Amino acid sequence: MGAGPGNTVKVTRTTIDELLAAARNTLRRLPPTQAMAAMRSGAALIDIRGDSQMARDGTIPGALVIARNVLEWRLDPGSQHRHPQAPGLGDRVILLCDEGYQSSLAAATLQQLGFAGATDVDGGFQAWREAGLPVILPGRSALAPQAPARSAGQVTHPR
């Protein structure tokens, strides 16, 4: 019998640290430079950060942006809400959040949906930016964060 009025379901408590550790035990997390190399080799990099984080920090050129709260519906091949550019179950999927916590939990969930190659970026967007990898700053074209300010439309890449 399921949970409902008058029915009690016994639940075992798990802390968030235990949940995160269990999720990460299933992942081969990538440092930002390896995630960039994988992306160049055809892996799908999916940015699951919130709008306010992207507005504050910028976005990653070539990343598919899918909000965390709809991620599973946008990627599941059986979902009527699947994103037209969603990767297939056999594709390498790399998730990126702000600091690498949400993305670990989400990548473990994608593995349960059948995305065996799902993982995340260790340290998230903040580590990506710290590594000097390409970022499109708010209101600008692709720039490395350490690069001097340039007019919109000019592109620089990390050295």
143 domain-assigned: no
Q: Are 81 and 70 in contact (CB under 8 A)?
A: yes
CATH number of the domain bearing residue 102: 3.40.250.10
Nearest to 26 by CA among 105, 94, 87, 127: 105
- Residue 95 φ/ψ, nearest 5 degrees: -95, 150
CA separation for the pair 23, 12 (Å, rounded): 17
pLDDT of residue 3: 59
**Higher-confidence residue: 143 or 80?**
80
Nearest to 31 by CA among 94, 108, 90: 94
17 domain-assigned: no
pTM: 0.82
Least confident among 91-95, 102-106, 140-144: 140-144
19 domain-assigned: no
| Residue pLDDT, tens place only, 117-153 | 999 999 999 999 999 999 999 877 555 444 333 333 3
* Overall domain count for the chain: 1
104 domain-assigned: yes
11 domain-assigned: no
CA separation for the pair 123, 106 (Å, rounded): 14
Catalytic annotation, residues: 97
Domain span including residue 53: 43-134
Q: pLDDT class for 8, splitting at 50, 70, 90?
A: confident
In degrees, to the nearest 5, what angle opens at C-alpha 58 toward C-alphas 158 and 91? 75
CA separation for the pair 94, 86 (Å, rounded): 12
SS3 118: strand
155 domain-assigned: no
> In the predicted model, is pLDDT for residue 155 greater than 60?
no
pLDDT of residue 27: 96
In degrees, to the nearest 5, what angle opens at C-alpha 93 toward C-alphas 19 and 59? 95
38 domain-assigned: no
pLDDT of residue 139: 79
76 domain-assigned: yes
- Tell me what percent of the residues of the chain surpass a pLDDT of 90: 79
